Amino acid sequence: MNTLSEVWSWLTTAANWYGENGVWNRLGQHLLLTVVCLVISSLIALPIAVTLGHLGRGGALAVNLANIGRAVPTFAVLVLLLLTPIGRHGEWPTVIALVLFAIPPLLTNAYVGMREVDQDVVRAARGMGMTGTQLVRRVEVPLAFPLVLTGVRIAAVQLVATATLAALVGGGGLGRIITAGFNLASTPQVVAGALIVAVFALLMEAAFEIGERWGTPRWARGRNR
Amino acid sequence: MTAPPDDCLARNDWICGDYLSTRREILLDAVVEHVQLTATAVGLGLAVAVPLALLARRRRWTAGPVLGLTTVIYTIPSLAMFSLLLPLYGLSGTLVVVGLALYSLTLLVRNLLAGLAGVPAEAEEAARGMGYGPMRQLLTVELPLAVPTAMAGLRIATVSAVSLATIGAIVGHGGLGNLIYAGMNSFFKAQVLTASVLCVIIAVVFDVLLLGVERLLTPWRRQSRRRSRPRVRTAGRKPPVTAGMAAGGTAPDGASSHRPPPPDGASSRRPPPPDGTAPGRRT
């Protein structure tokens, strides 16, 4: 395979890894974008989900949000934001689109996690005289934690994928290597970039998988798995 | 030099009737291409997913690898997926179709398996007792009863494929995505907004159509919802199999009555996928 050897030689050329357009720089941008957006969307979605879950309301809202989110193309939203006045401010269109699309998985998983808490446990805690806040902090949130974490993982992996699309609207990140390859009509660079992106996404997924396994306390293992 | 005409195209408005009337054919072509891409892709995905799911059910040891592999594919970002297929298919519509079909595999296989697993043991025993062979049992009992769960997966897969197809613009075959891409480069607002809205409309139309197909394929659920459920409730008997399905009773622990909808949300009657976590939205 000729293409394969060309891809290999692209990947092993040091010049492709260093410098402003190098892989390392793009990887850093990608990671930064993902982490920043994950933090912002978690700060927005998780408190809402915990409140709604505690009150037992708004389930339809969370589910409908997730469903509508699926039908809206990320690429279209990115371009629409780019063409509005927001588009003049660097990475803002990307950040807004990424946060918007990361909220539904965070919201739905955390909400479901809160609702799946054993109602007997909740009643027992109430019987012990816990107030609403105590109940949330000491019973419901710890018990819902595994599903909340699942939502965070889904959102993170999705963010990695979406951050790739930022390159289509002139943003940074690993996707830039692929789009640059298309502009140069260089199939080896396109494929090499795609490989790097795919490996990065899979590593992110694996890292969360391992982190989840290690971070879950023993009593919570086996639930929601 | 004469002054440019003062219409919404010249002003570059977001919403523009003139754009719709003058570019009608371009829009129609893009819609047709979009629908073709997604329909072919989901059809292809279904053609691969059904044998895979049946294999995973029949030979248990294949279930792990099949689910693992499709999940790994699902994790790959769309831009990377289309680019990885580039040496195989070149800049063609086939590339987009194959990429989208690969994504649909995860949802289809998972939901087919979950649907087959949710078939009540009583129904299978009854079929066996009536002398049904394995093939007849599969075709007339198991697959029809798995339809609601499988359809939930098919609907999500289709809607996702519609929105993902736009990325096909990177290889020049993205249906409405091409218009969005071109509109971005020329700052043509009306084109971007119109194409985006059309995308969402296509997704909704597909979803409604599939919902209709689902209802046609499962006539017993409509009937049971109207008649047998109230009767069962007042009589206090153990609900019959079909009524149980309609009431959401496919959850194995029977605690479905107070359960919230699953995170994936397309169907509140859907049991959780085999590994318990629903895959997120594809981008």
CB atoms within 10 A of CB B68: 11
Q: How many domains does chain A have?
A: 1
CB atoms within 10 A of CB A48: 17
Would the pLDDT of B49 be above 80? yes
pLDDT one-digit tens code per residue, B205-246? 999 999 999 999 988 887 665 555 444 443 434 333 333 333
Mean pLDDT (chain B) is 81
A225 within some domain: no
> CA A63 to CA A111: how far, in whole Å?
10
Gap from B40 CA to chain A (nearest CA, Å): 18
If you average pLDDT over residues B140-154, what whole number do you get?
Answer: 92
pLDDT of residue A110: 92
pLDDT of residue B231: 45
Gap from B202 CA to chain A (nearest CA, Å): 9
> Under an 8 A CB cutoff, do B80 and A64 touch?
no
A51 within some domain: yes
Which residues of chain B neighbour A101 with C-beta distances below 8 Å?
281, 283
What is the count of residue pairs from A and B with beta carbons less than 8 Å apart? Answer: 180
- For residue A45 the two structure tokens come to 């979605």
> Under an 8 A CB cutoff, do B196 and A201 touch?
no
Would the pLDDT of B256 be above 60? no
One-letter amino acid of A154: I
Contacts 24+ apart (CB under 8 A), B213-219: B213/B151, B214/B147, B214/B148, B214/B151, B214/B155, B217/B144, B217/B147, B217/B151, B218/B144, B218/B147, B218/B148
Mean pLDDT (chain A) is 88
pLDDT one-digit tens code per residue, A111-126? 999 998 888 998 999 8
CB contact A179 to B (< 8 Å): yes
A180 within some domain: yes
Q: For this complex, say whether ipTM is above 0.90.
A: no
Q: Which domains does chain B have, with CATH numbers?
A: 11-227 (1.10.3720.10)
Q: Is residue B199 helix, strand or coil?
A: helix
Task: Give which of B147, B137, B144, B84 is closest to B111, Cα–Cα.
Answer: B147
| CB nearest to A161's CB, from B72, B77, B193 | B77
Q: What is the CATH number of the domain that holds A181?
A: 1.10.3720.10
pTM of the model: 0.83
Give the residue numbers spanning the domain of A25.
Answer: 2-220
